[in-house]
Homo-oligomer: A and B are copies of this chain.
Amino acid sequence: MKNRIRELRLTREWSQSTLADALQVSRQTVNAIENGRYDPSLPLAFAIAALFSLTIEEIFQPCAQGQDRPCRTKNA
């Protein structure tokens, strides 16, 4: 699962800590999601979308097979 969180965060000039506080999760969680170590839970994905005033689909993109996107797991 690819996401645009880092891009959206940097546009607002927020640190990972600032974003983590706004989302009420730990800084490590933000870092892990930005770096693709795991996907957020669905409730957290909703919180992220709400914070950036975007839809989940505008922030996250599932990885189709055979594309050039780097993904941890098949279609994730």
Copies of chain A in the complex = 2
Closest B residue, CB atoms, query A56: B56
Which of B42, B55, B56 is in CB contact (< 8 Å) with A1? B42
Query: Which chain B positions have C-beta within 8 A of A76?
Result: 43
Closest B residue, CB atoms, query A3: B42
- Name 16 interchain pairs, CB-CB below 8 A, sorted by A: A1-B42, A39-B41, A39-B43, A41-B41, A42-B45, A42-B56, A42-B60, A43-B75, A43-B76, A46-B60, A46-B62, A47-B75, A49-B57, A55-B55, A56-B56, A56-B57
Interface residues of A (CB under 8 A from B): 1, 39-43, 45-47, 49, 55-57, 60, 62, 75-76
